[in-house]
Amino acid sequence: MSRLLVHVEGETEETFVNEILAPHLYRNGFTNVSARIAGNARLRDRRGGIMAWSAVRKDVLNHLKEYQTCLTTTMVDFYALPLSGNKAWPGREAASQLPFSRKADTVETALLDDIRGALGDTTDYRRFIPYVMIYEFEGLLFSDCKGFSRGIGRSDLADRFQAIRDQFNSPEEINDSPITAPSKRVENLVNGYQKPLLGTLAILEIGLDTIRSECPHFGEWLTRLEHWPEKAAAVRSIYR
């Protein structure tokens, strides 16, 4: 049995995992894929938003200990991850000073090191694959601007989406300021943009294969997840 728990930051990512990612991974050998909104969502005034690493860390550790054969990952936006203070995410402050190519890896390595340190002398940390989106979920939608516009029922915006996309080497590089982050650019063009619904419709139109080809960091993460059932089966066979 190959089970995957994805710790997400909000409803948009939760819907993506349940509606898009899970069916794809079932075809790659997973038997159970589910999303968990990180932290205690029941205590929030609204679902979603960036949680403190301490809350997410607790969830990750609990799941690794509770489900001994389960793979665990994260799906959170680099944009707006807390840099300092009691909500800070490991590696985030250092990553802010680094070139684009090193940002996500810096945070992901720091997260893995933190979980490994907390688990002590075990190999359970290998079942944790941190993933930090560069810069946020909406960036993925610029992988196919025509598909994006069709998916949300706004074909008239295809050229305007493409004009944004053409400014960057990849959709993952669409920058992360409060004004120019991918979601802010979309909201400026789409009045009343509903992220969970329209984001999912856009992904369905675009397709995972296009996104992975346009967004290398996302593609690397997806490939690692796809190969896990095969890897886990090989390890189990050794210890039979």
User: In this model, does residue 34 exceed pLDDT 60?
Assistant: yes
- Whether 99 and 14 share a structural domain: yes
Mean pLDDT of 124-145: 95
Residues 111 and 222 in one domain: yes
Mean pLDDT of 146-155: 97
State pTM to two decimals.
Answer: 0.91
Token duo for residue 5: 């728990």
Same domain, 131 and 70: yes
Residue 93: both structure tokens together = 């402050």
Which structural domain, as residue segments, surrounds residue 107?
Answer: 3-136+214-238
| Whether residue 129 sits in one domain with residue 68 | yes
Q: What is the mean pLDDT of residues 223-232?
A: 90
Question: Are 19 and 72 part of one and the same domain?
Answer: yes
Across the chain, mean pLDDT equals 90
Q: How far apart are CA 139 and CA 31, in angstroms?
A: 29
Question: How many structural domains is the chain composed of?
Answer: 2
Contact 107, 78 (CB under 8 A): yes
Are residues 76 and 148 located together in one domain of the fold? no
**Same domain flag for 41 and 144:** no
Same-domain check for residues 142 and 44: no
- Residue 99 sits in the same domain as residue 195: no
What is the pairing mode between strands 32-37 and 70-77?
unpaired
pLDDT band at 175 (very low <50, low <70, confident <90, very high): confident
